[in-house]
């Protein structure tokens, strides 16, 4: 029985490690795609700063067990980016 539990624990840790590796690969590829598709000028800087915050928090949060906090930071960063885009768009239409 104990050997079976040890085997299951080892399998679980292997699956968790594989999942983390897949998440890191996905984040790397998403960053590459984001960099390739990021529009310049009006929207570029408004997206770049919140994207950096999201990437930083999502990299650090799992280490400290703060996944829920990471979700809130992601939502706040997206809202911040939308606000900055709207402000820049409004200012460009006034000029």
Does 90 share its domain with 51? yes
C-alpha of 3 from chain center = 38
Q: 48 with 32, same domain?
A: no
Q: Does residue 83 share a domain with residue 49?
A: yes
Q: Tens-digit pLDDT profile for the chain (95 aa)?
A: 788 999 999 999 999 999 999 999 888 888 777 766 655 554 556 556 666 767 777 777 777 777 777 777 778 878 887 888 888 887 777 76
Q: Tokens 């885009």 map to which residue?
A: 85
Considering its fold, how many domains does the chain have in total? 2
Task: Answer yes or no: do 77 and 92 share one domain.
Answer: yes
Nearest in space to 34 (alpha carbons), one of 19, 18, 20, 54: 54
pTM (predicted TM-score): 0.39
Identify whether residues 47 and 10 lie together within a single domain: no
Q: Are residues 15 and 56 in the same domain?
A: no
- Same domain? For 44 and 9 the reply is no
Co-location of 30 and 51 in the same domain: no
Supply the range of the domain harboring residue 90: 40-95
Contact 76, 53 (CB under 8 A): no
Backbone angles phi, psi at 24, to 5 degrees: -65, -40
- C-alpha to C-alpha distance for 30 and 57, rounded to whole angstroms: 15
Residue 34 to residue 57: CA distance in whole angstroms? 17
Same domain, 8 and 51: no
């Amino acid at each position: 029985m104990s050997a079976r539990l040890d085997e299951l624990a080892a399998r679980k840790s292997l699956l968790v490690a594989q999942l983390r590796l897949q998440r890191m690969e996905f984040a790397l590829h998403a960053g590459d795609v984001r960099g390739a598709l990021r529009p310049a000028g009006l929207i570029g800087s408004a997206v770049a700063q919140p994207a950096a915050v999201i990437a930083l928090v999502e990299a650090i949060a799992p280490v400290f067990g703060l996944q829920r906090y990471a979700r809130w930071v992601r939502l706040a960063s997206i809202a911040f980016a939308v606000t900055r885009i709207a402000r820049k768009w409004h200012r460009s239409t006034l000029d």
